[in-house]
Amino acid sequence: MAPIEPNIHESWKNIMLKEFEAPYFGDLKEFLVEEKKKHAVYPPGSEIFSAFNSIPFEEVKVVILGQDPYHGQGQAHGLCFSVPEGIMPPPSLVNIFKELHQDLGLPIPNHGSLVKWAQQGVLLLNATLTVRANQAGSHQGKGWEQFTDAVIRNLSENRKGLVFLLWGRFAQAKEALIDKAKHHILKAAHPSPLSAYNGFFGCRHFSKTNEILIREGKSPIDWATARPEASLFNH
């Protein structure tokens, strides 16, 4: 089989080389090739590694863990919880913006793109990086989790002072991969409408993250994504 040449930033390609060369990753690639013959798959191939292409490995400061890409047309673009501008923000993302407003007083934007966070060092990492159209969880158990667990372990082992935001039980199960002596873990309920009132609202993770980053001697994240003229509050 030809060597796999992922469309991923060189810093990540170097650190993850062992995974790309592993048999499971070859199997995963074959699965995706076959899957795309029969089904629409999201996000587009060029955006599967968007989270990694937004920020080099050594510049990651914060990690937010999601589970699965959005499975509606045009929603997934390789960053967990984020949707491209022009796509209606899904309910979990709306709740993230509500908590940001409560925590930091930031206006709620009328778009759902978190690209600005990613460019500042927030790794928006889904455990599974692809999904079949309209079928949530359809690419789980195919190899992606092995790859993204390795991402978390590499960050834990090779970096120091990162902030991991673990929202919901699925993300919190990844805590075992993180060296708590070297990194900071903030846990809360998932921002989904089903659970946001059980501890996501009021968690103040955005201000807490910035307090930690400042203590670590790093620049805080500018969490504002709304353009001045583009807040829902102005309409």
Q: How far apart are CA 212 and CA 162, in angstroms?
A: 9
Q: Which phi and psi (to 5°) does residue 63 adopt?
A: -125, 125
> Do 69 and 129 contact (CB within 8 A), yes or no?
yes
Q: Which of 68, 103, 179, 222 is catalytic?
A: 68
- Helix boundaries (H) for 111-230: 115-119, 144-158, 168-172, 205-215
Q: How far apart are CA 43 and CA 72, in angstroms?
A: 10
Name the strands in the sheet holding 62-66, side by side, starting at the edge strand that comes first in the sequence.
122-126, 62-66, 163-167, 184-188
Residue 216: partners with Cβ closer than 8 Å, 6 or more residues away: 161
Residue 90: partners with Cβ closer than 8 Å, 6 or more residues away: 70, 75, 83, 112
Residue 52: partners with Cβ closer than 8 Å, 6 or more residues away: 8, 9, 12, 123
Q: How far apart are CA 62 and CA 124, in angstroms?
A: 9
Could you count the other beta carbons within 10 Å of the beta carbon of residue 158? 10
Check if 179 is active-site: no
> Which active-site residues does the annotation give?
68
